[in-house]
Structures are given as structure tokens and as C-alpha cells.
Amino acid sequence: MKTRYSWKSFLAVQLVVVAAGGLALFLADANAKVMIRQEIPGGEAFVPVAIPRSMPLYISRPYNRPDLVSDEDLAAVLKQIQPRFDQKEMKPNFIEHALRTWGVDATFQNPKCVSGQAMLEFLTDNASFVESWGKEIAPLLQERPKGVGIHWGPDTGASYHHDHLLACVTEAGAPLNTPVYGPTRRRDTLYDVIQESLRDFRLDERETEWTAMAFGLWIPPTSTWIGSGGRQYSFDLLVDRLLRGEKAEGVCGGTHRVYSLMLLVRLDDEFNILSDAARESAYGYLKQVRDTIILSQFEDGHWTAAWPEGKAALTKQDNEPMYKSVIATGHHLEWMSIAPPDLLIPEDRIKKAMDWVINNTKSQKQSDIKTMFTFYSHVGAALCNWRQVRPADFWREWERSHPYDPSEEVVEAAPVEKTPAPAAH
């Protein structure tokens, strides 16, 4: 039997509702799936997957620890990671990170910051994208016969990771009926983006971290579904895919897969989307990660990219680029912020990690934050989780008693990177 935790008091999920516009038209029973496979032999036997909610699920944060993160420190970090982006040539990857951290309802007194709604429009409205990039760059939104795809990869103006845009918009709290305006169509919504992702998913994809998150926050209690070609998928298969390879493999030194697995376990607590075996495998892996990072944490609290090596990580000269330590430390604090108590490292070690990453973030120049925004956005998200607050809510309240002061905006020269951070994350 599964070992489950009682998260009823912690897991604040949206009530299951039927989306406006007759969502029943999208629901298909097993007989229909069989019929389509028979009628279109060898073709794309995809049947839209039921999405039984108008808002994405929200995984509650079980801890409120002002002893670990004070209001002042949290405000200082959030001030550093405000989305100060130039309107011209906004990078989708940066906007995605900013949006999933701040949320669709974020507003700022600082006129240089991009609001949550403006960030959402940039990612979901081709006109906004063209306004930033011009018509010479390939559209971010791809109009396909059966839905809306996302242009992803290393191309200029593209979302860097598969399903990253969808996962970030979902975590940001965008509703299912969010309008999605492509180059020529204005009838699509976020529903069509989700269905296209479900349709074209393959288990052999290089990255599945964000696919697991997006599907997990929309389709439970459904745990299995049919993709194109009549292929059957499940959250069990996603867990198996995420567990393949060494701990260091994957984006950001393997830390994203840890977060995705933790999120699936939390969803399983509520919706029973995993088999006993899959849950046991995921939970066992998370325990291994917990034990590993206890051994690989440096005395001052940070982790390096070598964290999967356990105690051996401490014997290596700590001379890697600083941003890699920010990645490892911020991401580990983030997945632990939604973890049950038995998956946490000792509190004194959490405190050391908090202090290191807070002091590091506060010490950075705005130009450096701008260059490495994607990494530092996870720091802000993690710290807010540990305080049970949404960044947008906390910042709105903070600005009431700490109004924006233009004189505090320091004009800096363009950043010069001695050790360039990677273009993507």
C-alpha cells in the first residue's frame, strides 16, 4: 500500500468545475477512442483529454518559516528579481521564469517592470510578440490543425525548453480559457495549447520535466491518456522517464526532475494518479536526493553542480562559476518547500542554505541579476514558498508601506561577464 500523508490541510486545490463554453463537448469515452483508432488506421488516433477544471491546480506550501526568511530579507530578494525587462526583444525564457514566479496578477509601482498580464500577453498573443521582436523572427505560437504548438529550441525568440512555456503559464495561474492569439487565428485558448501538448508528447523526448508539471496541474484525476497514434501514456510512465539516468543528468544539474517528481507525489496524495510501484520509486529517489544533499552541502550552506556526488563534492575545489551554486542552492530549497517533513534535510542546514542564497542575491548588481535572471527567479520563488505567500501578494502589501523610490534605481553599465552564464535554463 502507498504511504500517504494527510495533506488535506495543506493542499489548497481549486474546486473541480466545468469550464465555460460547454467543456462536455471535449470529453470522450473509451468507446470513442476505440472507434477512432479503427476508423483512422495508422493515423493520429488522438482524442482530447478531459480537463475537469477551469483553473490549474495549486500545490499548497506547507511551511511558514519567518525564522528562516524574514519579511525584510524576502522583500530584498523580490526587489532584486522584479521583472525589469526592455520591451524590445524580450526573451521568452526570461518572461516564462518571471511569470511562473510572480503570477498573472502581478503589478509593480516601478514603471520599468513588466506586469503579470503583460508577460502573459507576450507569451499568448502573437501581436505582442511581434511588437517586441518584429515580423522577421519566427512566431512563438505555431498554429496547427488540431491545436497550438510552441516554437521551442535554441532559435532566436523561441521558448528554450519543450513545454516550459505551458508549465510556466500554468504555474502562474492562467485560466483554461485564456485567449491564445496566433498569427492568423483568434479562436484558440490555453485549452488548445494543452491538448496539442498532450497530442504530440513522446516518452523519448530529451526533457519531460515541464511536461510532467503541466499535465499534472491540469488533468488529474485522469492518470492515463491516449496520445497520437493510439499510444497510451500515464503518470507512471512519466515517473519512469524522469528517473532514468544519473542524478546529475537533466536541466540545471538534475534539480528540475527532483521538483517535478516531488510535485507528482504531492498530486498523488490528493488524486491517486500513481500506482503503488511508481510512487514508491519516486519517493525512494527523493529520499536518496535528501541523503545526498546532506552529504554534499558546503559548510556555508550552498551546494554546487557536483551535488549528486555526495560527500565527494566537498573534496573538489569550489571554483565553478557562481551561478551554478545559485542554481543548485535555489532549486533544492524550492523542491523542499513543497516536500513532506521526512524529505527535508535538518533545519540548521536549511537555515544555512537560506542565509547563503539570500546574501548572495542581495549582493548582486542589477545588471548581473538581469543576465542571470532565470536562476535568481527560482530563489525568489523558493523563499516565498517557505513563507506561504505568493510573490505578487507579498510585494503588493510591501509596497503599501514601502513605496517605489526612483532614486533607488541604480544606473549601471552593461554587464560584462567574465564567465558567461548559459543562454538558457
Q: Residue 5: what pLDDT?
A: 52
* Contact predicate 133/408, CB 8 Å: no
Positive or negative, the CA dihedral 119, 120, 122, 127 is: negative
Q: What is the DSSP letter of 103?
A: -
The band of 409, judged by pLDDT with boundaries at 50, 70 and 90, is: confident
Task: Specify if 385 maps to a domain.
Answer: yes
pLDDT, tens only, 224-250: 999 988 889 999 999 999 998 765 556
* Contact predicate 105/173, CB 8 Å: yes
Q: Residue 254: what pLDDT?
A: 83
pLDDT at 3 over 80: no
Report the number of distinct structural domains present in the chain: 1
Task: Specify if 12 maps to a domain.
Answer: no
CA 268 – CA 265 distance, rounded (Å): 5
CA 167 – CA 136 distance, rounded (Å): 27
Q: Residue 316: what pLDDT?
A: 80
* Contact predicate 377/95, CB 8 Å: no
Task: Specify if 13 maps to a domain.
Answer: no
CA 422 – CA 32 distance, rounded (Å): 46
Task: Specify if 7 maps to a domain.
Answer: no
pLDDT, tens only, 13-29: 333 333 333 333 333 33
Task: Specify if 201 maps to a domain.
Answer: yes
pLDDT, tens only, 302-324: 999 999 999 999 988 667 889 99
Measured CA to CA in angstroms, residue 143 lies from 151, 180, 187, 322 at distances of: 10, 10, 11, 40
- Dihedral (Cα; 16, 21, 24, 27), 10-degree rounding: -90
CA 314 – CA 317 distance, rounded (Å): 8
Task: Specify if 10 maps to a domain.
Answer: no
pLDDT, tens only, 193-212: 999 999 999 988 888 999 99
pLDDT at 348 over 90: yes
**In 3D, which of 106, 244, 224 has the Cα closest to residue 171?**
106
Task: Specify if 122 maps to a domain.
Answer: yes
pLDDT, tens only, 94-135: 999 999 999 999 999 999 999 999 999 999 999 999 999 999
**DSSP, residue by residue, 257-295:** HHHHHHHHHHHHHHH--S-HHHHHHHHHHHHHHHHHHHH
Task: Specify if 314 maps to a domain.
Answer: yes
The domain in which residue 96 lies consists of: 23-408
Q: What is the mean pLDDT of the chain?
A: 87
